[in-house]
A and B are shown apart, each in its own frame.
Chain A
Amino acid sequence: MRTRAVHAWLMLLPAMLLLVAFTHWPALSTFVDSFHSTAKAGRPSVWVGLENYQVMLEDPVFWKAVRNNLLFATATIPASIGLALAMALWVNERIAGRAFLRMAYFTPTVLPMIAVANIWLFFYTPQYGLLERLTGLLGLPAHNWLGSPSTALAAVTAVAIWKEAGFFMIFYLAALQSLNPSLREAAAIEGASRGYFFRRVLWPLLMPTTLFVLINACINAFRMVDHLFVLTRGGPDNASILLLYHLYEVGFSFWDTGYASAITVVLVVLLAGIALFQFFVLDRRVHYQ
C-alpha cells in the first residue's frame, strides 16, 4: 500500500509542482505584493499596508473600468446566451440550409480574437467601413462608432457577443440532442403549443446547460479583453476600458506592480466568488439529470 501511495505521488508530482509554481504561489504572492510598494531603481519594495487599495479607491479609471465591466457583463451574458439558445433550437430542427447555418454561427468561435478585432475594426471604420455604408444607405448621419465615448463600449460589446454566441450554441445543441424524442411526441398528442412546450418542458430540462453556460459567460466577461488592444485601447478617454485591460496598463505600461497586484486580487476574488457561488449555491439547487 505504501509503495502505491508513493507511485501515485510520483505521477502527480510534475503537474502539482507546475500548478503550485504558476497558480497557487502567484495567487498568494500577488496578495502579499498588494500590501507592498512597487520596487524602483535604488528603492526596494516596502510594506505599505492598504496604500495600494487606497490608490485603487481613489483611481477614477479603476471605477470606470468596474462600471464598464459590469455593463459589459450585463449585456454580453444574457445576449450571448439568448442568441445561443435560439441558434441551437433552429439548428436542431430540419430547417432549410441547416449545415450552413451551423457553420455560420460557429465560425467566429475558432478565429483568434485579435484577428476578429481587425476585421471588426474595418467594419466600424468611419466613412468607408461597411457599417457606415449600411447606415448611409438608410440615410442615417455619419458616426464614429469606436471613436465616440457614447458608443465605444457598445461597439466592443457587440464583438464579444458575436464571438461567444456560437460557442455556447454547441452546448445547447448537445443538450437538445440528448433529450428523449418521446417528450415531443407526447406534447404533440396533448396538443401543447410550441411556447408551452418550450416553457414547461425544454427550458427546465435545459437548466443544467444554461447554468454551465452562464458560469462560463460570467468568467469570460472578466477575461475577454484581447479585442480592446485593436479596437479602442480602452478609449476614447477610458470609455471602453475593462478591468483586465486596466490591470495590463497599470502593470505593463506604467510598471506599477504594487497597484497592479491589488487589481489582480480584486479580479481573483471576483472569479473565485463566481466559481464558489456555482459550486455551493447553483449546483445544489439544480438536479434534473
Chain B
Amino acid sequence: MSSMHAEPPAYHAPTWLDTLAAWLLALLWILPLVYAVWTAFHPSAYATRFELLAPLTLENFARAWQAAPFARYFLNTAALVLMILAVQLVLATLAAYAFARYEFRGRNVAFALVLVQLMVMPDILVVENYKTMARLGLVDTLAGIGLPYFASAFAIFLLRQTFLGVPKELDEAARVEGASPLQILWRVYVPLARPVYTAFALVSVSFHWNNFLWPLIVTNSIQARPLTVGLQVFSSVDQGVDWSIITAATLMTSAPLLLAFLLFQRQFVQSFMRAGIK
C-alpha cells in the first residue's frame, strides 16, 4: 500500500512502481495454480522439474478418473447444486413478493426472523441439523445435504429489494386486466428481476459446488457424496497415490466452475458485485 503515498503527484496514470507491484502480486496469486496445471499435465517425473520441453500428458487425469468414482461425484454435485438452486429460487420469489407487496400483521417480525439466518448460518448449526437429518432418515442423501439451504435469507432479501423497486403502476395495470397475484408475480416481477436471478444463481451455484463441511458430516458413502468430499476422501487415503494424480483430480473437480468463470468473467464479477451491494 505504501506505493500509493509515493510521489510524484501524477495520479492519473499508474507509475511504473504500481505496475510492477500489481504484476508481482498477480504472479504470486496465480503461481500456485500454474504450478498445479504444470504438475497435472506432465508425467510425475516432471512434477517438480521444470523443463520447457517436458512431454505433455493427460494420463494423470485418466488415472485419477479411474482411481475413484468421480463420475458419480460429478453427478451428485450437479444434481445437488441444481436442486438447491431451483428450490431456493421458487421459495425466495414467493416470500420476497409477500414481503414487498403485501401488508399483513407480523410482517416486520417475520422479516426479522428471516434475517436471523444471515448471521446464524446453517454452517454453524451442524450438530443439531445432523440430529434432525438422522431423525428424518435423510443422512447420506442429497436431500439431507440440501435441506438446510433451501430457504435462503440472502435470496429473499435480495429479491425483496428488487421487487420493491418495481413501479406499483405495472402491478395495478395487470390487476385491472384480471391477472391473479401469482400471474402478476410471474409476468411482471420475475422478468424485471432477471439480472438479480442470474446474479444469485451464480453465487449460489459456486457456493454449493464448493461447500464442504456440512456435506462431509452428513454423507458417508459415494451414494450422496459431492465432489469436494470425494476429492478429500480420495486425496487423504493417499499412501502410494502420487502428487500428479491428486493435482489432476483437484483441477478436474474445479474445472467446470473455473472454465465457466474464464468464459463468463464479466458476468461472474458483475454478479458477485450485484449480490454484495445492498
Mark A residues whose CB is within 8 Å of B: 1, 4-5, 7-9, 11-12, 14-27, 29-30, 33, 82-83, 85-87, 89-91, 93-97, 100-116, 118-120, 122-123, 125, 128-130, 133, 162, 165-167, 170-171, 173-174, 184, 187-188, 191-195, 197-198, 212, 219, 223, 225-226, 229-230, 244, 247-248, 251-252, 257, 260-261, 264, 267-268, 271-272, 274-276
Contacts and interface: CB of A to CB of B under 8 A. Distances in A.
A1 B125 CA distance: 38
Interface of B is mostly: helix
Interface stretch (B52-60, B88-96, B190-198): B88-96
B268 interface: yes
Interface string B27-61: 10111110110010000000110000000000000
Given A8-B98, A264-B124, A122 B210 contact: no
21 contacts: A16-B110, A19-B151, A85-B1, A90-B21, A95-B19, A105-B29, A106-B261, A110-B258, A114-B228, A115-B254, A118-B247, A118-B250, A122-B247, A128-B47, A170-B272, A194-B4, A212-B276, A229-B212, A229-B232, A260-B127, A264-B125
A22 B132 contact: yes
Interface in B249-270: 250-251, 253-254, 257-258, 261-262, 265, 268-269
Contacts of B251: 115
The 10 A-B residue pairs with the shortest CB-CB distance, nearest first, are A26-B128, A194-B11, A275-B119, A8-B102, A18-B151, A112-B210, A104-B26, A195-B5, A5-B104, A11-B94
A159 B82 CA distance: 29
A170 B129 contact: no
Given A22-B151, A105-B26, A111-B257, A118 B127 contact: no
A8 B273 contact: no
Contacts of A100: 26
A112 B215 CA distance: 13
Nearest to A177: B273
Given A133-B48, A230-B235, A251 B127 contact: yes
Contacts of B201: none
Interface of B: 1, 4-7, 9-14, 18-19, 21-23, 25-27, 29-33, 35-36, 39, 47-48, 91-92, 94-95, 97-99, 102-105, 107, 110, 113-114, 116-132, 147-148, 150-151, 153, 156, 181, 206, 209-210, 212-213, 216-217, 227-229, 231-232, 235-236, 243, 246-247, 250-251, 253-254, 257-258, 261-262, 265, 268-269, 272-273, 276-278
A118 B246 contact: yes
B150 A167 contact: no
B155 to A, nearest CB: 9
B269 A16 contact: no
Given A167-B272, A229-B232, A248-B213, A11 B98 contact: yes
Contact of B132 (A26, A110, A128, A223): A26
A186 to B, nearest CB: 13
B166 to A, nearest CB: 16
B189 to A, nearest CB: 12
A104 B213 contact: no
Given A100-B26, A108-B29, A123-B35, A18 B147 contact: yes
Contacts of A264: 124-128
Contacts of B9: 191-194
B35 A19 contact: no
A247 B125 contact: no
Contacts of B25: 83, 86-87, 105
Given A194-B11, A230-B232, A251-B126, A112 B29 contact: no
Given A8-B104, A112-B209, A229 B29 contact: no
B124 A223 contact: yes
B19 A9 contact: no
B122 A22 contact: yes
A258 B254 CA distance: 37
Contacts of B22: 87, 90-91, 95, 101
Given A97-B23, A115-B254, A12 B273 contact: no
Contacts of A95: 14, 18-19, 22
A27 to B, nearest CB: 5
A174 B124 contact: no
B128 A111 contact: no
A113 B32 CA distance: 13
Given A26-B128, A272-B119, A107 B30 contact: yes
Contact of A14 (B19, B31, B94, B262): B94
Report which residue of A96, A112, A113, A195 has the largest number of chain B beta carbons within 10 angstroms of its beta carbon: A112
Contact of A103 (B10, B131, B247, B262): B262
B212 A114 contact: yes
